[in-house]
Amino acid sequence: MMLVYGLELECGKYYVGAAPLGSDVVRNHMTGHQCDWTRDYKPLRMMFEFSSDNPEERDYRTLRLCVLHGVENVRWDGFYMSIEKALGTTQEISREVLI
């Protein structure tokens, strides 16, 4: 079971991640010690968090944030380059999310 979480960051940026339940990953993001994106853009609040054993949950939440806020404003663990290559543009992401 994984914790899927979304963070709202400074400057209109967002981060979506998944981590083992009970890990310190979210706390590390909040203190700027987990990745460059959350170090550069300070987390403002936790938008959502839930436990899931479905890896597609994180991808679905990521795609929705990309549609709402733009691919350039959203980062996630292990998914950025593949979505750029697979879907190409924000309009294609919009169509994919709406299906």
Mapping DSSP to helix (H, G, I), strand (E, B) and coil, where does residue 4 land? strand
Extents of the domains making up the chain: 2-98
What are 43's strand-pairing partners? 9
Please give the structure tokens belonging to residue 80. 């950025």
Q: How confident is the model at residue 98 (pLDDT cuts 50, 70, 90)?
A: low
Q: What is the pLDDT of residues 35-82, one digit of tens each?
A: 889 999 999 999 999 998 887 788 888 888 888 898 889 988 765 545
What is the model's pLDDT at position 81?
A: 47
- pLDDT over 90 percentage in the chain: 26
What count of other Cβ atoms lies within 10 Å of the Cβ of residue 73?
A: 15
